[in-house]
Amino acid sequence: MKNQLLCDIGNTTFSFNDGRKAFVDDFDISSIKEDVYYISVNQYWEKRLSMQENWINLRSFVNCKKYYKSMGIDRIMACEAVDSAIVIDAGSAITVDLVKDSVHEGGYIYPGLVALAKCYKEISPALEVSFNFDIDLAKMPKNTEDALTYGAIAPLLSNIREISTELPVYLTGGDAERLLSFLPTATISHDLVFKGMKKLLEEH
């Protein structure tokens, strides 16, 4: 079980827990001979792999009563990895989930930083700027760049603080490092999804 091969399939990439990555477009099923436990947010691949004996979908291992119906399986696995925590996955969207005593208390979806920058630009060309990640969010902004950066980040942080200042905060996803500077007590855990998959497999 210790070296069990795990795979997290997204819309663009196959990511294995041994570090291998492959694009979904040119992934060769025959390259994997051993058993692999996987999750997939990619419906095409989930269907295709259901016909492969050595590809075992971990979706069926989840107690579906614990989560809401349309919640992404990657988000579910990140929640499975923790006992009591706020789990933030900062990718194309930023999901914020609250887990207490292994119970998912709910969660929400905030736009990702790239999506927010695009969103501002589409409101007005005057709002097309690069975010200033060195901003001091303790001060109210006094220029457009800071006004947009503060608007993109400070409300999210205020809400996270309002949910809890006591629970540990886990950060994962491509923009985890970006957010860490504003959440100094948070822990970055890029393998949170694999941790959840492994835990689920061990409990099964």
| Catalytic residue positions, numbered | 74
Contact range with its own copies by CB under 8 A, out of 52-60, 103-111, 166-174, 191-199: 103-111
Return the residue of 6, 148, 169, 197 that touches its own copies, per CB under 8 A: 148
| All residues at 6 or more sequence positions from 41 whose CB lies less than 8 Å from its CB, including other chains | 9, 10, 11, 72, 73, 74
Q: What is the nearest approach in angstroms of its own copies to the Cβ of residue 14?
A: 19
Residue 124 in contact with its own copies, rule: CB under 8 A:
yes
| All residues at 6 or more sequence positions from 96 whose CB lies less than 8 Å from its CB, including other chains | 86, 87, 88, 107, 108, 109, 110, 156, 159, 160, 163
The sheet with strand 55-57 has its strands ordered as 21-23, 13-16, 5-9, 36-40, 55-57
Return the residue of 120, 131, 170, 194 that touches its own copies, per CB under 8 A: 120
Neighbouring-strand partners of residue 104: 99
Return the residue of 151, 168, 180, 188 that touches its own copies, per CB under 8 A: 151
Segment 173 to 192, residues that bind its own copies, using CB under 8 A? none
Where on the chain is the footprint of its own copies (CB under 8 A)?
A: 68-71, 92-93, 95-96, 98, 105-112, 115-116, 118-120, 122-124, 126-127, 139-144, 146-148, 150-151, 154-156, 158-159, 161-163
